[in-house]
Structure 1
């Protein structure tokens, strides 16, 4: 049998006629085709080539990532239920007056903010599954009790406790992700998590609109706005308990029953060694003298103030003034979160590939400015308003992108990461709790010109802060004082060109696939490391 080499299939058999006894040539079978390799290629693209690390990632994505994403999805439905309930009958049934809706939101955000740092710090002391299961179950029960309220002060009280117990849901998930995923994995996983939250907010509007249609004209039974809280709690309570079986705690705990011993070893080794793990007085000094503790919460706070134009029922109340129906007021704003999901995935995927977050952050900053400027101009037709709201929706991306950036910049210090994770949200809500009372009071509806101007100003302020963080990150990685895998500052070498700007740094990869910042090959040789240096060189465990 003759053979020849095909440029696509390699060496394949070539048909050669054979003679039968009657002298006629027989038809030879067709050349063999290689099997379809699309599934293995897809798996390799998502989780890398077959290895213990790939097995670990698949298990983490199917348990850790999925659990927190679904919980955050249900949480999104829960919180959106209050805004949709308000415009769907709760305001009239409970006799909300003046700024009562703003007060309800402020009370929730106050307790939510106060418990951010304590909840994330608790994750470094107790096994995280204890904290999450207890907290998620309690806020779900409080959601169920909401359908029984008869006065405004009762819903104020329930929101206060719900804020306290739900404080760990968002920041705690980001802390756990940062403990298990590398830099090149983290942004995309955070995008999945936040995308589920945005889907939850969208689903809340759809559920409420559906209940209104189904129950319209019926007498007796629960009102639609009460029934949504029953539906949400019925989904959330049983799933909250599932966390006991799927949350793997921290890598060092080696407590995940579904991971093999080899996978547990890889989980600990691949992110490097954290220098400090104990809580002592040195924690206070390290945190207060770090720039991460101040700048990361600052830029996240500015972002949150910009997107207040998307909260506080601003868009639905503007739509009401233009004559749109209640169903339209519940459904059209969900597109905002749709654009947020798409943009979050895009920005996080790009930043993971670049192994750098500042470029996408700048793009978001300029989007703040453009969308706010359109709202400030108060256009006459409806379409520029819709365009501005939907464009601003793309700026929900920092929920994933900047928490991933924070994990990158604090990965060398467990306590700094835990405290900064909580402080980013609590500092944010220290302003968000009162900001709407001044710039977005419901009594101003539908004209929120003060708020739109405030969004434009805070959006402009994000640009210099982002550039400053990028500059300090470049300096810190060069000095070996930040990044994952830092053991001792003295081990750090010159990882970056002294004169290069952050945007001039180009990562390269070793033969083992470990990504290393430009200029570290010589440094690796100087400290006696060859091959995989991800767990030794600061910033290389990505």
Structure 2
């Protein structure tokens, strides 16, 4: 298949005689500068528009995701910094608390993304960040991640989406790092005002979260159709052949349920979640359990932030490669990152390995985080021609990752098994293998669909001649 043909760009239009015809667009030529940042080869008008879009979407969405993950990371850091003893959270209580959050997160995601196709993102998403209590925090936060990715999929083109989605996702790693440093800082407040140090951590969390959530009402954009730059916004979306919002008809729902998208993409994310050992406090609890040498509370909070630093660097590199050098192809990066994770988890499952390599496995594991956002980006692009399907598939896909997080940790990541987690690392290794197979299957199906578009285009052109 010629490399200069953009297979997914087959679209319907009218020729001079009013006959419906399918056009296949050639890929635009790219300079080396566009592999670094994608605005260089665009018109001045579109570059100004993208700058405003990035200033709105990336700024507030990254800050919102930062506070979302700050809350999640604070639980682990508080747990290893005195909360376990103060609240008597021995055995598997940490797993139970995490599961309560996850259940709320699961319940809210798909309904939220459906609501998001009808309610402005600038109203719906910030509103969901203002609630409290653990279950309702999970329920409220369920709107954010899939909702932002749905919104990004509505605004950004294929050569722009991957790196921006990963920049957004990197906010979680920054929050995890910041939470560790914040915990180290507030330890000095232990006893101040009759509160423990870990309690001050949650107070700081609230102080940071509230103004950022309120800012979302004023900064968060809505959709291209109601943008101030409506003409250029809609023109960019039409270049990607993304359909505008349509009614939720019975025919549309049958079409969505009959497609492989709604089944295989969530299954892939499900496997990525099962392979997500990094989602557990494996490094922190390993350090807490170690007695030779005995690490201080500050070290237990600070050392795992190196994993987050690796996550940031690796994810940005992977995203730039996927968007630029690979022309928006996602599957090669997914295969590479998942294979690396397989090697790391197998090593940790063996456990009797050199101490230096064990530390390396904990730290390098951060690179595998790219799999989750890139799967959702891939899902967004695969479903780009149907806004309602995109909302449901993205919400369902992200939901499946958390479905497994609601119960699997209670079986294979039990706190009482720390720090070895033999069952957990075995399961993560097997999930990596299954994910590799499914990535290749999905890529074959995507190419099959693209070839069908080309065949349809050729048939239509022959008919019109």
Q: Is the 8 A contact 1:478 1:493 kept in 2?
A: no
Q: Secondary structure at the residue paired with 1:115?
A: helix
Q: Is the 8 A contact 1:194 1:399 kept in 2?
A: no
Q: CA offset at residue 526 of structure 1?
A: 6.7
Q: CA offset at residue 72 of structure 1?
A: 0.6
Does structure 1 residue 85 correspond to structure 2 residue 78?
yes
Whole-Å separation in 2 of the counterparts to 1:45 and 1:368:
28
Q: Secondary structure at the residue paired with 2:128?
A: helix
1:310 counterpart (273, 278, 283): 278
1:329 counterpart (276, 297, 300): 300
> 1:29: which partner in 2?
none
> 1:460: which partner in 2?
433
Q: Secondary structure at the residue paired with 2:143?
A: helix
The structure-2 alpha-carbon separation of the partners of 1:524 and 1:348, relative to structure 1 and needing over 3 Å to count, comes to: farther
Whole-Å separation in 1 of the counterparts to 2:66 and 2:319:
19
Does structure 1 residue 293 correspond to structure 2 residue 257?
no
Q: CA offset at residue 525 of structure 1?
A: 7.3
Whole-Å separation in 1 of the counterparts to 2:431 and 2:69:
25
Q: CA offset at residue 281 of structure 1?
A: 1.2
2:53 counterpart (57, 60, 68): 60
The structure-2 alpha-carbon separation of the partners of 1:111 and 1:297, relative to structure 1 and needing over 3 Å to count, comes to: same
The structure-2 alpha-carbon separation of the partners of 1:324 and 1:54, relative to structure 1 and needing over 3 Å to count, comes to: same
- TM-score where L is the length of structure 1: 0.75
1:493 counterpart (447, 457, 463): 457
Whole-Å separation in 1 of the counterparts to 2:441 and 2:36:
36
- Which stretches in structure 1 are left out of the alignment for 5+ residues? 1-40, 143-157, 482-489, 495-522, 529-542
> 1:277: which partner in 2?
246
Q: CA offset at residue 441 of structure 1?
A: 0.7
Q: Is the 8 A contact 1:108 1:163 kept in 2?
A: yes
Q: CA offset at residue 310 of structure 1?
A: 2.0
String of CA shifts for 1:320-356, please: whole Å, max 9, x gaps.
2222221111111111121111111111111112221
The structure-2 alpha-carbon separation of the partners of 1:276 and 1:180, relative to structure 1 and needing over 3 Å to count, comes to: closer
- Which stretches in structure 2 are left out of the alignment for 5+ residues? 1-32
Q: CA offset at residue 45 of structure 1?
A: 4.5
The structure-2 alpha-carbon separation of the partners of 1:113 and 1:321, relative to structure 1 and needing over 3 Å to count, comes to: same
Does structure 1 residue 240 correspond to structure 2 residue 213?
yes
2:149 counterpart (156, 164, 174): 174
Q: CA offset at residue 82 of structure 1?
A: 0.6
Q: Is the 8 A contact 2:242 2:384 kept in 1?
A: no
String of CA shifts for 1:132-161, please: whole Å, max 9, x gaps.
1210222xxx2xxxxxxxxxxxxxxx2111
Q: Is the 8 A contact 2:307 2:363 kept in 1?
A: yes
Does structure 1 residue 394 correspond to structure 2 residue 386?
no
Q: CA offset at residue 385 of structure 1?
A: 1.2
1:187 counterpart (147, 154, 162): 162
Q: Number of matched residues?
A: 426
> 2:189: which partner in 1?
215
Higher relative contact order (CA 8 A, sep 6+): 2
> 2:450: which partner in 1?
477
Q: Following superposition of structure 1 onto structure 2, how do residues 42-441 of structure 1 map, counting pairs within 5 Å?
A: 45-48=37-40, 49-138=42-131, 142=132, 158-212=133-187, 214-215=188-189, 220-252=193-225, 254=226, 256=227, 259-274=228-243, 277-307=246-276, 309-322=277-290, 323-353=294-324, 354=326, 355-441=328-414
| CA root-mean-square deviation | 2.3
- TM-score where L is the length of structure 2: 0.86
- List, as ranges, runs of 4+ consecutive aligned residues in structure 1 with deviation greater than 6 Å: 41-44, 523-528
The structure-2 alpha-carbon separation of the partners of 1:43 and 1:408, relative to structure 1 and needing over 3 Å to count, comes to: closer
Q: Secondary structure at the residue paired with 1:412?
A: coil
Whole-Å separation in 2 of the counterparts to 1:231 and 1:318:
27
Between 1:277-286 and 1:113-122, the stretch displaced more is 277-286
User: Higher helix fraction: Structure 1 or Structure 2?
Assistant: 2
Q: Secondary structure at the residue paired with 1:137?
A: coil
The structure that has the greater radius of gyration is 1
